[in-house]
Every structure is written in structure tokens, then in C-alpha cells.
Structure 1
Amino acid sequence: MAKILVTGASGFIGSFITEAAVEKGLETFAGIRSTSSKRYLIDNRINFIELDFSDKQKLREVLSLFKKDNGNFDYIVHCAGVTKCISKNDFIEVNYQQTKDFVDVLIELEMVPKQFLYISTLSVFGPIHEKSYQPIAEDDIKKPNTAYGLSKLKSERYLESLVDFPFVIFRPTGVYGPRESDYFLMVKSIKGHIDFSVGYKRQDLTFVYVKDLVEAIFLAIEKKVVRRAYSVTDGEVYSSRAFSDLIQKELGIPFVLHIKSPLIILKVISLCAEFISGILGKSSTLNSDKYKIMKQRNWRCDITPTIEELGYEPKYKLEKGVEEAVDWYKKEKWI
């Protein structure tokens, strides 16, 4: 039975990848921290391995012992990382340096898998084609304007620099679905009859339901592709109000007050929130990185290579995905 390791397995995307791996009959290892929650990792077929990416020596020892007892992983999906931090330097440390250390240890121990599938982000491109609104394409120049996007791009470039290293990079747009907490804030806001948006210029948005992203990952394993990067969306483009309107529909809210803020106000609020989070030592959902992401007007994306090379067929358009996600939030009493 082929062995797969999913790092960041306790997280939103990682937990869905882990579940899918088990269902597909793979010997599944969930890479977690000692403090990680196993709330969504309840299948008794899941094997656990504690990985501390902040300690390279300890990581080497754990993987060396694993190899001695179990052999190598056939596939590794590296989902571990951070999307918000107290300090911007933490993005580089966690998303880039720890990824580099992990890969270096795999090479040193001769544990390079058949495929190393890395979860990156569409944000590696930064704001692009903001006037023409043409889709972001894989050969476009990457100029990330966020610490998060830069950290992911550095990781991508390191993987690409390694001769014959079997990476597969995924660059999803906004990923939503059950268990996700950032888009859930919008659900809470709509339930409170408030829809907050920013900027007056046209904004084209794209999304991908978490289960479609997971399916793309396993299609890449099935097709045995290596040294490729794929953007992932549901194939559609949405207006800035599409998501909130669908949430309102699913919640059965009769009226919502739509508040559109000038970008300068959001910028001030974001910087203040970031300053306060630094004092309190806690990361904030609203920060300068988030401001730049919300400011970006064009999230159109060309997924033709993903469709043609992997046979990717997204099953969840936004309406179906929002319906399923909101239903989950209700059942789990998040709302």
C-alpha cells in the first residue's frame, strides 16, 4: 500500500486532504504538532507522526526513525504553513525556511518521495492585470505584494532550483468550505445583517471549494506529473457581492445593510489592528497583508493547464459550495 504524508493535517485544507487519502486507500500519515487538535482526524485508519519544522535536528531524527521502521513516503503533501502572523518575518521563517529545511532533510536522508505536492497560493503573482482584467496565467511575472505571497514564492523558487526534485505546486485562489474560519467571519457578519466591502472599482473574484482543491491534488498523483505548477479555481468569475448574496440566501436573512468603505479607511483600520496585535502578541485577521488582498481587483485565473493536464473538473460552483458550507456551520452550531 502506497504511503502518503500530509503535513499541516490538523488544519482546514490539511484535514480534508487527510480524509481523502484514507478514502482512496492510501496508508495515510497525518503530520501534526504535539499541540495540534485532532478534532477532524477521527478515522482510526489515520496514522500520526509529530513533526516539528522549527527544529531541523529533531525533524531529522523523527524522519530517520520513521524511515528505519517504515521506509519512505511515496507521496508528501506539504500543507503546513501560516496565513497570518504577528511579525511579517514569521511568514519567511515558517512558510519558506521551514519548508526548505524539510526538503533538505528529505534529500539528506534519501527520503525524496515520488511527488512532493506543495500548497502555495495565487497570491504569488500579486496584483496583476488590474486594468485589463485578463486572467492570471502561469507564465505571468510574479510580483507578490504581501509577506504571505512572498514567502510562498520563495518556497516555490527553492523547489524549482533543485535538479530533478519531483515537486507539484498548487496555487489556489480563495479556498472556502466547512471548518474554514476566515470566510466564516463573513457568514457571522451577514447573520448580523451587515455586509462590509471595500473599494469602488470593479472587483472580479474567484473561489475554489476545498473538496475541489483536494480532488486536483489527487488527480496530480494519479497522473504522476512532476515539476509543474497549477492554479486552482472553480472555473468561474464572480462579482464582489456574489459570496455575501449567497450567504444571505442560505441563511434566509430578509435584509442586509451593504456598507462599502473607501480603501483608505480599510488601510487605517488594518494598520491599527496590526499594531494592536503586535502589542498583544496575537495575530489578527485584519492586517496590512489582508488589506492588500482585499484591495486587489483582479483574481481572474487561467486554469486551462489544470483541466487539460490533470482532467480537473470542479464539482462545486459557488452556490453549491456556499450551501454546503453554511449547512455545516449550522450543524456544528458555529452559527
Structure 2
Amino acid sequence: MESILITGASGFIGSFIVEEALKRKFNVWAGIRSTSSKKYLKNRKIHFLELDFTHPNELRAQLSGYKGTYNKFDYIIHCAGVTKCIDPKSFDYVNYLQTKYFIDTLKVLNMVPKQFIYISTLSVFGPVRDGDYSPIKADDTPMPNTAYGLSKLKAELYIQSIPGFPYVIYRPTGVYGPREMDYFLMAKTIQRHMDFSVGSRRQDLTFVYVKDIVQAIFLGIEKKVVQKTYFLSDGKVYQSRVFSDLIQKELGNPFVIRVKCPLIVLKVISLLAQFIAMRSGKCSTLNLDKYKIMKQRNWQCDITPTIKELGYTPEYDLERGVRETIAWYKNEGWL
């Protein structure tokens, strides 16, 4: 039985990876913090490993303790990270530096796995093809315009700089599905009869359902690929209102007031929300990073290599994914 460590296992994507790894009969280790919730990690076959990425010496002791008993992991899927912070500087510390600490520790302890799978983001490229609305390609020069995207790019570049390191990097576009909070807030707003859109210029959006990310990860393990990067989407392009229209449909078509917010107004609101968050010490859904993400007009990406090299076939288009997601929200009493 091969072993697999999933960091950030208590999170949205991580918890789904854990479930699939169990189905595939891996010896599953969930990497968590001492404060992490185990709400979606109830299976008795899950082993838990507390990992302190903020303190390299402590992290080394924790991994060394594991190695002393079990040797090393066959696979590591690094999902741990942050998508929103009170202080934008925290993105760099968590997403880049802590990833570096982790990899450096694995190297020192001779615990480099067969594959080190890193969950990155399409945001590492920023608005690189906003001008012509063509798909972002792997050989484009990244132009991250958010602290989040830059932190992920720095982690990618560090991973890729290590000679012979067996990395596989996945760059998903907008990820949605059960347990996800940001798109849930959108559904909650629509349930309350409001729908907001941003800007007047055409916006091409792409999405990927969480279970399709999981599918791609395990295809990569099966194919034994290393030193590869892949975009992940459902292979389709959507206009800005499609997602909210599908949510509205699954909610029973409630009456909705649609408000179009000019970009300058959104920017002011985002800056104010970020300022309040920093003063209060609580994360805000709206911030300058989020504004730049919502401002971007083109989120197309080329998944041809993912299809050809991994045999990846997205199982969920947006309609099916939204249907399953809203049903889960309702069943759990979120809506």
C-alpha cells in the first residue's frame, strides 16, 4: 500500500483529495494544523500528522518523527496555503516561504517523494491575455497582478529551480463545489434576491469543479509524470452571468435585482473593506486582490496538454457542477 501525504487536508480541495485517496486504497496521511477542523475527515482509516510550517525546526522534528517509524511518503500533495489574508504580505510568507521550508526539510531528511504535487492557480499569469481574449498558454510569461498570484508564482519558480525535483504543478482556474465558501456567498446573495456583476466590458470566465481537480491529480500519479505543469478547467468558456443564472435556476428562480457595479466603485469598496479588515484583524471577502481578480476580463486557459498527456476528461460542466453544489448546500442547511 503506497503512502500519500495531503497537506491542507482539512480544506476545501484537500478534503476531497483525501476521500479519493482512500477510495484508491492509499495509506492516507492528512497533514493538518493543531487547530484544523476534522469535520470532513471522519474516516477511521485516515492517519493524522500535525505539521507546523511556520517553524522550520518544529517541522523538521515532526517529519523526522514520521520517517523514524514509516520511512518516507510515496506521494505528497501540497494543498496547504491561503487564498485570502488580513495582511497581503502574509500571502508571500504562507504560500511561498512555508512551501520552501517544507521542500528544504524534505530534502535535508532525504524524504523527497516520487511526486511532489503542488496545487497552484491560474492567477500566476494575471491578465496576460486580457487584450485579445485568447487562451493562456503554459509558455506565456506570467504577469501576476495580485499578492496571491505572485506568492504562488514564487513557489512554482522555487520548485522548478531544484535539479531533478519530481514536481507536478496544477494551475486550476475558478474552483467551486460543495464545502467552498466564496461561491456559496454568491448563492446566498442570489437567494436574498440580489445579483452583482462588475464592469461593462466582455468577461470570459472559466471554472473547474473540485472533483475534476482530484481526477487530474490521480491521473498524474497513474501516469507517473514529473516536472510538468498543467492548467485545469472544464474546457469551456462562459460569459459573466452564466454562473449566477445557473445558481438562480437551482434555487427555484427567485426574483433577483441585478446590480452592475462600475470598476471604480468596486475598487473603492475593496480598499475600504481591506482597511477595515486590517484594523479589525478579520479577513474580508473583498480586498484589493479580489478586486483585481474580478476586474480581469479573460480567464481562458489551454488544457490541451492536460488532456493529451494525462487523459484528462472533465466530468462536470458548469450546469452539472452548480446543480450538485447547490443541492449539497441545501442538504447541509447552508441555503
How far does residue 128 in structure 1 lie from its aligned partner after superposition?
A: 1.8
Answer yes or no: is the 8 Å Cα contact 1:174–1:208 preserved in 2: yes
Q: Distance in 1 between matches of 2:128 and 2:191?
A: 33
Q: Distance in 1 between matches of 2:107 and 2:33?
A: 22
Query: What percent identity do the matched residue pairs reach?
Result: 65
Q: Distance in 1 between matches of 2:88 and 2:160?
A: 24
Residue matched to 2:71: 71
Residue matched to 2:133: 133
1:31-54 deviation line (CA, Å, top 9, x unaligned): 000110000001111110000100
Answer yes or no: is the 8 Å Cα contact 1:122–1:173 preserved in 2: yes
1:127-178 deviation line (CA, Å, top 9, x unaligned): 1221210000000010100000000000000001000000000000000000
Answer yes or no: is the 8 Å Cα contact 2:75–2:113 preserved in 1: yes
1:189-208 deviation line (CA, Å, top 9, x unaligned): 11011110110000000000
How far does residue 239 in structure 1 lie from its aligned partner after superposition?
A: 0.6
1:242 aligned partner, one-letter code:
V
Question: Matched residue of 2:238: which SS?
Answer: coil
Question: Matched residue of 2:269: which SS?
Answer: helix
How far does residue 253 in structure 1 lie from its aligned partner after superposition?
A: 2.5
How far does residue 257 in structure 1 lie from its aligned partner after superposition?
A: 1.2
Residue matched to 1:267: 267
Q: Distance in 1 between matches of 2:254 and 2:2?
A: 51
Residue matched to 1:217: 217
How far does residue 186 in structure 1 lie from its aligned partner after superposition?
A: 0.5
Question: Matched residue of 2:229: which SS?
Answer: strand
1:203-228 deviation line (CA, Å, top 9, x unaligned): 00000000000100000000000001
Residue matched to 2:9: 9
Q: Distance in 2 between matches of 1:310 and 1:255?
A: 43
Q: Distance in 2 between matches of 1:172 and 1:254?
A: 31
Residue matched to 1:45: 45
Q: Distance in 1 between matches of 2:236 and 2:143?
A: 24
Question: Matched residue of 1:150: which SS?
Answer: helix
1:280-304 deviation line (CA, Å, top 9, x unaligned): 0111110000000000000011000
Residue matched to 2:204: 204
1:304 aligned partner, one-letter code:
T
Q: Distance in 1 between matches of 2:169 and 2:285?
A: 25
Question: Matched residue of 2:31: which SS?
Answer: strand
Residue matched to 1:143: 143
2:310 aligned partner, one-letter code:
L
- Taking the TM superposition and a 5 Å limit, the aligned residue runs for 1:51-130 are 51-130=51-130
Answer yes or no: is the 8 Å Cα contact 1:15–1:40 preserved in 2: yes
How far does residue 188 in structure 1 lie from its aligned partner after superposition?
A: 0.3
Answer yes or no: is the 8 Å Cα contact 1:13–1:79 preserved in 2: yes
- Taking the TM superposition and a 5 Å limit, the aligned residue runs for 1:184-263 are 184-263=184-263
Answer yes or no: is the 8 Å Cα contact 1:7–1:30 preserved in 2: yes
Residue matched to 2:303: 303
How far does residue 254 in structure 1 lie from its aligned partner after superposition?
A: 3.5
Q: Distance in 1 between matches of 2:150 and 2:254?
A: 42
Q: Distance in 1 between matches of 2:325 and 2:278?
A: 32
Q: Distance in 1 between matches of 2:276 and 2:231?
A: 35
Answer yes or no: is the 8 Å Cα contact 2:191–2:254 preserved in 1: no
RMSD: 0.5
How far does residue 256 in structure 1 lie from its aligned partner after superposition?
A: 1.2
Moved more, 247-256 or 143-152: 247-256
1:239-298 deviation line (CA, Å, top 9, x unaligned): 100000000000002421111110000000000000000000111110000000000000
Q: Distance in 1 between matches of 2:254 and 2:326?
A: 16
1:114 aligned partner, one-letter code:
K
Question: Matched residue of 2:204: which SS?
Answer: coil
How far does residue 76 in structure 1 lie from its aligned partner after superposition?
A: 0.1
1:51 aligned partner, one-letter code:
L
Answer yes or no: is the 8 Å Cα contact 1:193–1:253 preserved in 2: no
1:316 aligned partner, one-letter code:
Y
Question: Matched residue of 2:143: which SS?
Answer: coil
**Structure 2 portions without partners, runs of 5+:** none
Q: Distance in 1 between matches of 2:199 and 2:323?
A: 27
Equivalenced residue count is 335
**Structure 1 portions without partners, runs of 5+:** none
1:285-331 deviation line (CA, Å, top 9, x unaligned): 10000000000000011000000000000000000000000000000
Q: Distance in 1 between matches of 2:14 and 2:90?
A: 20
Structure 1 runs (4+) deviating above 3 angstroms are none
1:78 aligned partner, one-letter code:
H
